Amino acid sequence: MNIIIADDHGIVRYAITLILRHTYPDTIVTEAASMDEVSRQLSLKKFDLLILDIMMPGNNGPSSIKHIREIQPGLKILMISALEDKITIESYLRAGANGYLLKRFDIDETKNAIEQVLAGNLYVSNGFKDLMLKNNIQPRRERQSMYGLSEREVEVLKYLVEGKTSKEIAHLLNVKATTISTYKNRLYEKMQAASIVELMQKYQWMKDHEL
CA distance 12 to 31: 10
Report yes or no on whether pTM surpasses 0.75: no
8-state DSSP, 34: S
Q: Contact 16/110 with Cβ under 8 angstroms? A: yes
Residues 6 or more apart whose Cβ sits within 8 Å of residue 44 = 172
User: Rounded CA gap, 148 and 183, in Å?
Assistant: 13
CA distance 83 to 152: 33
User: Angle CA(63)–CA(76)–CA(27) in degrees, nearest 5?
Assistant: 135
Q: Treating both helix axes as pointing N-terminal to C-terminal, what angle do 107-118 and 10-23 enclose, rounded to 10 degrees? A: 70
Residues 6+ positions from 54 with CB-CB distance below 8 Å: 61, 79, 80, 81, 83, 88, 92
Domains delineated in the chain: 2-134 (3.40.50.2300), 151-208 (1.10.10.10)
Query: What is the helix (H) or strand (E) element at residue 92, kind and residue range?
Result: helix 86-95
Per-residue pLDDT of the chain (211 residues; tens, 9 = 90+): 899 999 999 999 999 999 999 889 999 999 999 999 999 999 998 999 999 998 888 888 888 888 898 888 889 999 998 887 777 888 888 888 899 998 876 888 899 999 989 888 888 887 665 555 454 445 454 444 556 777 788 888 888 888 899 999 988 888 888 899 998 988 888 888 888 888 888 887 776 655 4
